[in-house]
Structures are given as C-alpha cells and as structure tokens.
A and B are shown apart, each in its own frame.
Chain A
Amino acid sequence: MTKQRKLSYLLNLIGVAVVFAVMTLLFAFQGFGDSTTYVEGVCTTACYTIIMVASLNLVVGFMGEFSLGHAGFVSVGAYASAIVSGALAGKGLSDLALLIVAVLAGGLVAGIAGMLVGIPALRLRGDYLAIVTMAFAEIIRVVFCNLEITGGGRTMSGIPKLATFHSSFWIMAVCVTIMFLFVRSRFGRTVQAIREDYIAAEASGINVTFYKVMTFAISSFFAGVGGALYAHYMTAMIPTNFNFNYSAELLSEVIIGGTGSLTGSVIGAAFLSALPEFMRQFSTYRMLGYSVVLVLVMLFRPGGIFGRWEFSLTRLVKKIAGRGKAKAAAAGALPQAAEKKGE
C-alpha cells in the first residue's frame, strides 16, 4: 500500500466520521426541534435505501444488465435476518452483536439466492434478463406468502428493533466502501469490460458467466444487508411490500442518480427516500413525479444525473490545498463516495 493511498483512506475515514459526528450532534441536541426523532428515522431509512440502491447499481451500472427483481433479494435478506435474530434473541448477545449477526445472515442467504437465480438467469441478456429477474422476484414473493415461518402471507411482526441510526450509518458506510473497492478492483474492472463489449471480453479470455454470476451474487448480498436493516428498523413486514413496484422504485433511484456512479446512487437514494417524507401531503404524487423525472432524465441525460462521475474527497482537498498553498500535502487520487450521505 502506497503512502498516498494510506493518506487517502485516512482522509475518507475522517470525512465519514465528520458527517457522522455532525448528524449525531444534531440529533443529540435536538437540532431539528420537535421533529428530531422523526428526522432521525428518515435518515435511518435513507441509510438502508442507499445500500439497496448502490447494490443494484453494481448490476445495472457496472455490469450493464437490467434487474427488475431487486426487491426479491431485499426480501430474502429481510426474512432470513428476521428469522435468525428471532432464534438468537435472548441468548445473551448484545443488541449490536445480534444486529451484526442478523445482517450478515441476511446478506449471506440473499447472496446465495442471488447466485442460484443468477446461474440460470444470466445466460440471458437485455430485455429477457429483466423479465426473468422480475419473474424470480415474484416467485420469491409467492414462496414467502406460502411458508409458515415467514408469516404465511400475513404480516410478520415482533422483529426486535435493533437498527438505530448509528448502527445503520456505519453499516452503510462499510457497505458502500466495500462496493466502491469492489468496483475499482481487478474484478470490478473485468465486469466493466464485459459491460463495454462482452464478445471482446470473452475473446480476451474472461469467463463472462462466472464474473456475471459473482457480481449478481455480491449485489444480492448487499441487497440482503439492506433488507436486514429494513426488517430490524421496521420490525414488521409483509411479502407484498417487496413487490414489483418496490423493485421499480429502487431501479428509478439508480437511474436518476446515475448508472455507473456510486456517488449518484448514494445521493440519489438519500435524497429521493428523504424527499417524500418531508412532503407527506404530496405522497400520492411521489411515484407520479418519479416517472416524469425518469422520462425527462432519459430524454436529456440518459446516463442519469451524475453519469459515471464519482465524488472524490481526496481530489477536493487537493484542489482546495492547491489553490491555497502551492505545496500542500498531496494525497492520492482515490475518490470516495461513502461520505456524501446526510447532505
């Protein structure tokens, strides 16, 4: 690890910590007056939505394939984690440990589900893949509606409320960082090569199916993590929550934010999940607005608002330092996207 990169990691960690500290202080000292608890709840919602949207962006933006069934994997994670935390509750684990175990369990089960779905489905491409992912999500929903352990189609309630803003924020930060490193790794570059031209990639000796299935599984893993947080924040859920509309909502957030930009996903998800909460009286118009914005984005900015641009704290600091002093401590050009949340 070069010194530059170490510096850059440190800088980004500080950035995340500062955002966290500001938010915590705001909540601790009633920064939003009477509605502080409410705002804190909205921010928690934003945290797990960010994980879900960013994970979908791995498939849509970086792999270049459509998934219309992301809500299916979110629900797998949510139910799996709820079952695990229900079984382990009262076994002497602290809340945080229990949450981490549940989140990991949800992610793993969703990841395995993603792999199982991906192996047959990813033989298809484009429109057909989109439809098959949708079909799988519907099948997952029907299965949850029929199994006794998931409530048998009724609301599954009584899930311990383990997810707080603090834990959700840090889980989100870790997840986004891992996804970011994934995208920048050799593996991620391979996946992007497949997106650009899969025939050329295959001819260069890349095992296209393997990389696609793995990316799909990783995306599902993080969808499951998001679902686990959802379950332990909401404490009650019903399989019909995770229907096609939920998948479509997540997909719109990815596309509006920018396909192939994690910054876009983070900002898009945070903004779009928080916005309707603050405009409750317009809630019936929310999806109407989404759809209009989607069409406009497609017409004028087909790559989404941020396109493939990534926010880089290091670059920003460098720029400011370069403007102020000619020779400031130069940090590496490793961009980071995680800290943008909360703006």
Chain B
Amino acid sequence: MTFSLFFQSIVNGLNLGATYALIALGYTMVYGIIRMINFAHGDFIMIGAYTLFYTVPLMVNNGMPAWLAVFAAIVVCAIVGVLVEIFAYRPVRKAGPMSALITALAMSIFLQNLAMVLFGARPHNVAAIFSLPSVTVAGVTISLNVVLTIAIGLAIMLGLQLFVKKTKLGKAMRAVPQDRDASTLMGINVNKIITVTFAIGSALAAVAALMYCTTYPRVTNNMGTTMGMKAFIAAVLGGIGVIPGAMLGGVLIGLIEVFVRLFAPGWYEAVTYGTLIVILLVKPSGILGRNTGEKV
C-alpha cells in the first residue's frame, strides 16, 4: 500500500467515523438515560437528509449559503425526535424493556414507510452543500469538504462534552441515569431531561445527515437502517451510555470499514458486525464502559 493511499484512507475513515460518532452519540445519550435502544434514531438521519434535500435549493434560490439548510434540518429532526418520544416512547416507558424495544422498532418502520409514502422509494440526490476545492499535501489529494466535515464533527463533540460537563442541564442529564428517584428528589424534572436528551440526540443526527450528504449525496427512505446499525455498533463498541466511548467507537468503526473495504470489498459489512459480536462476547460493557453487576 502506498503512503498516499494509506493517508487517503485515514482521512476517509475519519470522515466516515466522525459521522458514525455523531449518530452513536444520539444512541448512547438515549440509552444512558432510559435504557432503551432507540431504533428510530437511524431514521432521524433520513429525515435530516430529506430536509436538506428540500431546503438546500430553497436557500440557494434565495441567495443564502447552502449550509444554512442544516439549521432547518436540526429543527425538523429535533421536533420529530421529541414528538416520537412524547407520543410513542413515554406511554410505554413503564411497561418494561421489551415493550420499549418493540415500540422503538415500530417507530423505525413507521418513519421509513411514511417517508416512502411521502417521498417515494426512488433515491434523491442532494445538491452540493459545500463547494470547497481540493488541496494536495505531500502528493496526497484531499478534498477540503472532507476536512471541513471532520472539523464540524470534532467541534460538535467537543461542544457536547463541555455542555454535559459544565452546564446545569448537562449535570442533570448525567444525574438522571445514575439514580432517577434521587434526581427527582433533587428537583430535576426527569421527563423534561429525557425530552431534552431526545432533542439533542436528534439534532446531532441532523448534523450527521449533513456530513453524510456532503460525501454521499443520495437520500433514500431506508438509508437510516444501515447507518443506524453501524452507529449503534460504534456506541456499543465504545461502551453504551458513555459519551466519549461513542466518539471513540465511531472513529474506530469508520476506520475499520474503510480499511477492510480496501482489501475485501464484499466483506466489509461482515467485518463490522463481526467486530460487534467479538466485543460483546469479550467485554460486553464496551471499551470505555464500566461493568455493572446484576442484582437478584
């Protein structure tokens, strides 16, 4: 393997990894707070991507920069996330993990098929959002678009980490998973915190949609399934419920995928899923996760 190919792959892997990391953050935050795999999370990306598809031309026609469309996507995704939480997840929250899982699965199917009914099953192409040139560094050509998306991803992760660590709301978001009853007694409105978590997680999915569409500008109604599954694997790999774990897992999965694709194009998905299985069997709590014992 030449150096330029290696370097190119690292950049591509980071790009893909940053996208997965942002999605994985949504999974991890929701799982951390209500112990539920939000299957519909992958479909929030699809909603974000469709919003971009419709708003980017709108922005361009009105003489505004195309990337402003991402704010529309963030708002739409956050609203959808909150609506799903309030109308589907909240009523079954007390019914146990199985009901929650099925409801999440049902919401995923619902959103996908709603998108198919509304927008059709044909893939749509999103117009270019960033139009930066490519630069050549030491004989390696890198698209600045890719560098920019990586930078956006890193900035958002940093911002999220600061938010969770430093603000009062962030503190409450960390307190609820630790002990829900105690945090209620401390005056935290648990329902509100859960809603906020969903809003933030879905907003991150919208940013992930922007990053994904910059590199692969194709929108389909079932794009969320594979993206979501891989991001979920990333979250589990890093340790579900742990925010830095999701970032680490995302980047790892992105790199693994890009490098495996170089050597065995047909098999890269199998390797990704295989990684998950190995991790779960060796260290079920993930790389950065802590092991919690089980009580009778």
Contact = CB atoms under 8 A, between A and B. Distances in A.
Interface of A: 66, 68, 120-121, 123-124, 126-128, 130-132, 134-136, 138-139, 142-143, 145-146, 153, 199, 244-245, 248, 251-252, 255, 284-285, 287-288, 290-292, 294-295, 298-299, 302
B95 A135 contact: no
Contacts, number: 116
A66 B36 CA distance: 14
A294 B117 contact: no
A291 B105 CA distance: 8
Interface string B108-127: 11101110110000000000
Given A127-B97, A284-B116, A288-B114, A120 B281 contact: yes
A132 B114 contact: no
Given A131-B37, A132-B277, A298 B92 contact: yes
B266 interface: yes
Interface stretch (B5-13, B47-55, B69-77, B225-233): B225-233
13 contacts: A68-B105, A120-B281, A127-B36, A132-B277, A135-B274, A139-B274, A142-B273, A146-B266, A252-B109, A255-B102, A290-B106, A291-B106, A295-B107
A299 B87 CA distance: 11
Contact of B99 (A145, A284, A302): A302
A158 to B, nearest CB: 23
Interface of B is mostly: helix
Contacts of A142: 266-267, 269-270, 273
Interface of B: 35-37, 88, 91-92, 95-99, 101-103, 105-110, 112-114, 116-117, 222, 225, 229, 232-233, 236, 266-267, 269-270, 273-274, 276-277, 280-281, 284, 296
B109 A287 contact: yes
A299 B105 contact: no
A288 B113 contact: yes
Given A120-B281, A131-B37, A255-B102, A299 B91 contact: yes
Question: Which among B96, B99, B107 has the highest number of chain A CB atoms within 10 Å?
Answer: B99
Nearest to A293: B106
Contacts of A66: 98, 101
Given A251-B102, A291-B106, 20 more contacts: A128-B284, A131-B280, A132-B277, A135-B274, A136-B273, A146-B267, A153-B266, A244-B229, A245-B109, A245-B222, A248-B109, A284-B113, A285-B113, A287-B109, A288-B113, A291-B107, A292-B110, A294-B102, A302-B96, A302-B99
A68 B106 CA distance: 13
B101 A291 contact: no
